[in-house]
Chains A and B, each alone.
Chain A
Amino acid sequence: MTSELLLWMALFLGGYSAVVATLLGVALTSKRRDREGL
């Protein structure tokens, strides 16, 4: 694999994974969790 391909793979797969992980993190640590249970 070329370094160009690795870079774009990291950007797209990593970027989307980071967004999903962040949103999941927000959901899991939400104050709503304490109030209503996740």
Chain B
Amino acid sequence: MAQQHEQWSGRLAIVVAAVSMAVGTGNIWRFPRVVAEWGGGAFLVAVTVGLLVWAIPLLMCEFLMGSKSRLGNIGAFRDFMGRRYTWAGAFMVAVTLGIMFYYSVVAGWCVRYFALAASGGLLADEPTQGLGQQQWDAFINNPVETVGFHAAAVAFTTFVVFKGIKGGLERVLKLFLVALLIILLVLSIRAMLLPGSAAGLAFLFIPDWSQLGNARVWLEAFTQVAWSTGAGWGLLMVYAVYARKNEEIAVNSGLVAFSDVLVGMLAAALVLGTLFAVAPAPEIAHEALDAGHVGLTFIYIVDLIATTPAAWIISPLFFLALALAGVSSFIAMFELATTNLMNFGVQRHNAAVIIGLIAFAFGIPSALSIEFLNNQDWVWGVGLLISGLLTALAILRYGVERARADIDAASDVAVGAWFNVAVRAIPVFFVLLFGWWIWQSIRDNPDEWWNPLSTFSTGTLFVQWGIVLLLALALNNFLARKIQAGPMTEGDT
């Protein structure tokens, strides 16, 4: 049986780790853009519904699977679904690894911009629209820098995971989350007080109720919830492996989900309030919101903040927040890979170093080519929806009523019949969300949708998922046999 000695020091520690896992760069560079585009307050209502019917039930399922099986994703799926379905855990691990391999590069960008801002490199004496583009082009076309900062992010994370749950993750994540929250709170309050910020805040908070009749708003809200809260990624499943015996599940899962959206709101108040206050014309602010993650963060925000009063401190703090959010989410992905490797009998220290070397090597293509990074973001981002579906299917096979009884036994509040309904509804939501993304990708690439070599095609999704799925199926029995036994493994599950 797997020896499980490591443990979070208490309930607060696992909640802090889980919130820092969920709060990532997406809260800062994605949430403000989608909320402004899809109805402000009305979108927030749709997000709240998404939390209740997708994110929180899935987070509870993950928490249960990790804490009960005491094994990483591969072992947890084996013990909850049966040995024939071990491949499902392997698929989930592969999807998160696919994200991890480029996320370290993104975390590296954030660290680099923080360093640049702190050294005064993002300041300008007069209004400029060229500084951001100029800085970005110089950076992204310099492989020494992109690979170097990717290596730095991997090296730091390897060290944290090497030090273990209490000595590494718990210490660093507590510090990072507290610092991140303080920075976001200070910057968002300042943004709200800027003259002219009301126009941006109106996009965030004033509801356009007509949007709730638009199916697209619901699809965008559910996608946002699925990506932002980390539900279905398998990360909370791994953090729960190190939970104390009978750790609380229901309230903890709710805390993670609601905190994630609250942080997203603060970040959106910061970004939208600042954009509309400092942009010379509202059209420039809209252009910035339409410019994608990279365009908004590394080009427009750099340009717009450069000449504002106190830019010398605002700019480094903004990029520090981004770096803290990025690195803390990367740590969760790295821990997922490490824990799954440890389940093969590898010691933590060795596992962390092996994963560090693999993460560095497999991240290099994304560090060298933004096209490649965009492709991976597309493939594994949509793949997360499949991971969410697999988690729900695992619980359906285990027994929803049985899972609910387990969760109730370990929770401060009874979750109620709502949990059963929500878990059974997740496959339906999956079909709607997944079908919409596929339809959209075919519509946007009418000539190239089938081409696996095209960055955002449907073909590239199915080819890459297909390869991973075939490998996982081929290795099913090997993985089921080689993963150590946990407390649920007694007998043939």
Contact indicator A12/B41 (Cβ below 8 Å):
yes
Please state if B206 and A4 are interface contacts (CB–CB under 8 Å). Answer: yes
Tell which of A1, A9, A26, A36 touches B413, judged by Cβ atoms closer than 8 Å. Answer: A26
In contact, A20 and B262 (Cβ under 8 angstroms)? yes
In the assembly, what is the distance between CA of A12 and CA of B48, in Å?
A: 10
At the interface, yes or no: B444 with Cβ under 8 Å from chain A? Answer: no
Residues in B88-120 with C-beta less than 8 Å from chain A: none
Most buried by B among A11, A16, A24: A16
Contact (Cβ within 8 A) B201 A27: no
Q: Is the CB of A12 within 8 A of B205?
A: yes
Contacts of A38 in B (CB 8 A): 10-12
B261 neighbours in A (Cβ, 8 Å)? 16
Query: Could you tell me if B205 and A2 are in contact, using CB atoms closer than 8 angstroms?
Result: no
Chain B residue nearest to A27 in the complex (CB): B251
Classify the secondary structure of B's interface with A: helix
Chain A residue numbers with a CB within 8 Å of B255 are: 20, 23-24, 27
Q: Is B259 an interface residue (CB 8 A)?
A: yes
Residue on A with the closest CB to B201? A5
Residues of chain B lying within 8 A (CB to CB) of residue A33 = 11
- In the bound complex, residues from chain A placing their C-beta under 8 Å from that of B251 are 23, 26-27, 30
Expressed in whole angstroms, the Cα–Cα distance for A11 and B206 within the complex equals: 10
Q: Which residues of B contact A26 (CB under 8 A)?
A: 251, 412-413
What total count of A-B pairs have CB within 8 Å?
A: 70
Contact indicator A20/B258 (Cβ below 8 Å):
yes
B148 within 8 A of partner (CB):
no
> Can you name the residue of chain A whose Cβ is closest to the Cβ of B244?
A36
A13 B265 Cβ-Cβ under 8 A: yes
What count of chain B residues pass the 8 Å CB interface test? 27
User: Of the candidates A11, A16, A27, which one forms a contact with B11 in the assembled complex, judged by CB atoms under 8 Å apart?
Assistant: A27
B254 within 8 A of A: yes
- Give the distance in Å from the alpha carbon of A37 to the alpha carbon of B265 in the complex: 32
Residues of A within 8 A of B262 (CB): 13, 16-17, 20
> What's the nearest-Cβ distance from chain A to residue B246, in Å?
8
Cα–Cα, bound, A12→B44 (Å): 8
The answer, among B11, B41, B412, for a CB contact under 8 Å with A8, is: B41
**Which residues B196-238 have CB closer than 8 A to chain A?**
198, 201-202, 205-207
Q: How far, in Å, is B79 (CB) from chain A's closest CB?
A: 24
Inter-subunit contact A32/B198 (CB<8 Å): no
Bound Cα distance A11, B248 (Å): 29
Q: A5-B202, A5-B206 in contact; A32/B11 too (CB < 8 A)?
A: yes
The 8 Å CB contact of A9, one of B205, B252, B259, is B205
Q: Which residues of B contact A5 (CB under 8 A)?
A: 198, 201-202, 205-206
Please report the C-alpha to C-alpha distance between residue A27 and residue B206 in the assembled complex, in whole angstroms.
32
The answer to whether A20 touches B206, judged by C-beta atoms less than 8 angstroms apart, is no
CB of B34 within 8 Å of the partner chain: no
- Residues of B153-206 contacting chain A, CB below 8 A: 198, 201-202, 205-206
Known contacts A17-B262, A20-B262, A36-B244; decide if A27 and B198 are in contact (CB<8 Å). no
Q: Which residues of A contact B259 (CB under 8 A)?
A: 20
Chain A, Cβ-Cβ closest to B266: A13
Measured CB to CB, the closest approach of chain A to B50, in angstroms, equals 14
Tell me, in angstroms, the Cα distance from A16 to B44 when the chains sit together: 10
**B residues less than 8 Å from A30 (CB atoms):** 11, 248, 251, 412
The distance in angstroms between the C-alpha atoms of A19 and B258, with both chains bound, is 7
Residues from chain A with Cβ under 8 Å of B265 in the complex? 12-13, 16
State in angstroms the CA–CA spacing of A16 and B261 once bound together. 8
With a CB–CB cut-off of 8 A, which chain B residues contact A19?
254, 258
Which of A17, A23, A38 neighbours the largest number of chain B CB atoms within 10 Å of its CB? A23
Contacts of B41 in A (CB 8 A): 8, 11-12
The answer to whether B207 touches A16, judged by C-beta atoms less than 8 angstroms apart, is no
Residues of A within 8 A of B10 (CB): 36-38
Assess whether A27 is in contact with B252, with CB atoms less than 8 Å apart. yes
Task: Tell me whether A27 and B412 are in contact in the complex, defined as CB-CB below 8 angstroms, given that A5-B206, A8-B41 are known contacts.
Answer: yes
Q: A24 — which chain B residues lie within 8 A by C-beta?
A: 255
Q: Which 10 A-B pairs have the closest CB atoms?
A: A8-B205, A16-B262, A23-B255, A1-B198, A30-B412, A38-B11, A9-B205, A19-B258, A20-B258, A38-B10
Can you identify 21 A-B contacts, CB atoms within 8 angstroms? Answer: A2-B202, A5-B202, A5-B205, A11-B41, A11-B205, A12-B41, A12-B265, A13-B205, A16-B258, A19-B258, A20-B262, A23-B251, A23-B255, A24-B255, A26-B413, A27-B251, A27-B252, A32-B246, A33-B11, A36-B244, A36-B246
Q: Give residues in A with beta carbon < 8 Å to B.
A: 1-2, 4-5, 8-9, 11-13, 16-17, 19-20, 23-24, 26-27, 30, 32-33, 36-38
Additional A-B contact list (17), CB under 8 Å, known A5-B201, A36-B246: A4-B206, A5-B205, A8-B41, A8-B207, A13-B262, A16-B261, A19-B254, A20-B255, A26-B251, A27-B12, A27-B251, A27-B252, A27-B255, A30-B11, A32-B246, A38-B10, A38-B11
